[in-house]
Amino acid sequence: MKKINIGILGFGTIGSAVYELINVNHDMIEKRLGLDLHVSAICDVSPNIEHPLLVRDARDVINNPAIEVVVEAIGGEKPALSFILAAIKKGKHVVTSNKEVMALNGDKIFSAARKNNVSINFEAAVGGGIPIIGPLSHDLLANNLTEIYGIVNGTTNYILSKMTKEGTEFEAALEEARKMGYAEANPKKDIEGYDSSYKAAILASVAFNSQIDWKNVYFEGIEKITQEDISYAKEIGYIIKLLAVAKKYEKECEVRVHPTLISQEHPLASVSGPMNAIYVKGDMVGELMFYGQGAGGLPTASAVVADIINCYNVQCPISNFQFRKLKVKPIDEIESRYYIRLTVPDKHGVLAGISKAFADQKVSISNVVQKETIGKIATIVIIIHQAKEANLRKAIARLEKLSVVKDVCNVIRVGL
């Protein structure tokens, strides 16, 4: 069992979620990996934060020799950069969710980490909890990755989705995003494309194995998109999304962020509301998409804590199964909704008999629709509320014997 002392810099949405995650899933992680994650200190200067572990000076975290991993969850370039570099210099691994500091200072931070032989992990900087830095830098290593298209900002995607689905104008959609907590009081960095441009620079750097200078990333925001543009685009089969685009050629690349008309048929078109997705093309793997919640405390903490774990070369759980035999429920015991297609003679009294067969097994009908009638045979489709499979099967067995039922043609489970 290895105990890992962690210091958290910044106790806002992400910092406090990291603390919460470690508390909630501590035992599971310990049991699975043999790592005892332990938050030793939290630093935040905001006067309205109170916590038994709270310190007010980041040096009390950075200079604490017991702390092995520093989580930087402050955001923004300053003072995060100097704290990250100081922690690295002290030989600590650093995990950050900060896209801005990584996009603007990746080269400085990487070379400091190499020099001091520590890890700098930043999965949470792009796509919140969506695994994307990991897949790009491990699982897809055998590929020449050539194209990335990302919806990487939840605020702008929420606004564009609302404009698209409800015909709202930009200002009203922004106001709604604020109310829903998807936009900050000052949403400039999201709306004008800064946030996406940081993420574009990071994605391109990792995918293309090159240091992409953020200053060379062209970006536009969504503030000029009107309802007219959205409607006209829709008429010709397109939807407007704020896309981070990165393409690699032999000796150069493109990295840019701007509103883009994309085909309604493209998998990215169905990524709506505050969701994020990153679409990737590789020469071998073809096209991939990674989809999920791109922001929020706990999803982002999921990535931060995985990054903490990844600072240690713990044995992969696959070859380390606990071999606890989790019991698999027999199919009879599962609960599901069901779709049932029957044929019945087209006469009175049919539904009463069918309903009783279900009711006797405590299986409750949600919906019955009579479909086409051919000759004297009618097709009926029944939707069943959540029921236990064993009871459903008994009801079906009963139905099959009823004189008012010609055939039970199909029974299909309903889910999702």
Contact residues for 32 (Cβ-Cβ < 8 A; gap 6+): 317, 320, 322
197 near its own copies, rule: CB under 8 A = no
> Looking at 44, 68, 100, 123, which residue binds its own copies (CB under 8 A)?
123
Q: Which of 92, 199, 241, 248 is catalytic?
A: 199
**311 or 357, CB closer to its own copies?**
311
Q: Which residue has the tokens 């899933």?
A: 25
What end-to-end distance do the CA atoms of the chain give, in Å? Answer: 40
* Residue 294 assigned ligand-binding role: no
> Looking at 96, 248, 358, 361, which residue binds its own copies (CB under 8 A)?
248
> Looking at 23, 63, 78, 141, which residue binds its own copies (CB under 8 A)?
141
**7 or 282, CB closer to its own copies?**
282
* Residue 11 assigned ligand-binding role: yes
116 near its own copies, rule: CB under 8 A = no
Question: How remote is the C-alpha of 6 from its chain's centroid?
Answer: 25
225 near its own copies, rule: CB under 8 A = yes
* Residue 16 assigned ligand-binding role: yes
Smallest distance, its own copies to C-beta of residue 264, A: 10
The footprint of its own copies on residues 336-365 (CB under 8 A) is 339, 341
**58 or 268, CB closer to its own copies?**
268
Residues in the interface with its own copies (CB under 8 A) total 125
Smallest distance, its own copies to C-beta of residue 404, A: 20
**10 or 296, CB closer to its own copies?**
296
212 near its own copies, rule: CB under 8 A = yes
**80 or 243, CB closer to its own copies?**
243
Instruction: Give CA–CA dist 80/231, Å, rounded.
Output: 42
- Sign (positive or negative) of CA dihedral 234, 220, 171, 176: positive
Instruction: Tell me the residue type at 301.
Output: A
Contact residues for 107 (Cβ-Cβ < 8 A; gap 6+): 211
Q: Enter the tokens of residue 163.
A: 């404009």
Contact residues for 306 (Cβ-Cβ < 8 A; gap 6+): 123, 131, 134
283 near its own copies, rule: CB under 8 A = yes
Q: Is 380 helix (H, G, I), strand (E, B) or coil?
A: strand
Catalytic annotation present for 224 = no
> Looking at 46, 82, 137, 386, which residue binds its own copies (CB under 8 A)?
137
Contact residues for 227 (Cβ-Cβ < 8 A; gap 6+): 163, 167, 168, 169, 170
Instruction: Give CA–CA dist 169/182, Å, rounded.
Output: 17
**Phi and psi for 70 in degrees, rounded to 5?**
-105, 125
One DSSP character per residue, 212-227 reads --GGG-EE--STT--H
* Residue 181 assigned ligand-binding role: no
Stretch that binds its own copies, among 7-15, 53-61, 115-123, 164-172 (CB under 8 A): 115-123
252 near its own copies, rule: CB under 8 A = yes
The footprint of its own copies on residues 45-84 (CB under 8 A) is none
Instruction: Tell me the residue type at 217.
Output: V
Stretch that binds its own copies, among 2-10, 67-75, 220-228, 395-403 (CB under 8 A): 220-228
Smallest distance, its own copies to C-beta of residue 306, A: 5
377 near its own copies, rule: CB under 8 A = no
Instruction: Tell me the residue type at 376.
Output: K
Contact residues for 221 (Cβ-Cβ < 8 A; gap 6+): 156, 191, 192, 193, 242
Bridge partners, residue 411, by sequence: 340
**60 or 337, CB closer to its own copies?**
337
Instruction: Give CA–CA dist 44/315, Å, rounded.
Output: 34
368 near its own copies, rule: CB under 8 A = no
285 near its own copies, rule: CB under 8 A = yes
The upper half-sphere exposure of residue 347, i.e. CA atoms within 13 Å in the direction of its Cβ, equals 7
Question: Residue 405 gets which letter from DSSP?
Answer: -
* Residue 10 assigned ligand-binding role: yes
303 near its own copies, rule: CB under 8 A = yes
Q: Is 62 helix (H, G, I), strand (E, B) or coil?
A: helix
324 near its own copies, rule: CB under 8 A = yes
* Residue 12 assigned ligand-binding role: yes
Instruction: List the binding residues.
Output: 9-16, 99, 184
Numbered residues of the known binding site for NADP(+): 9-16
Supply the residues annotated as catalytic. 199
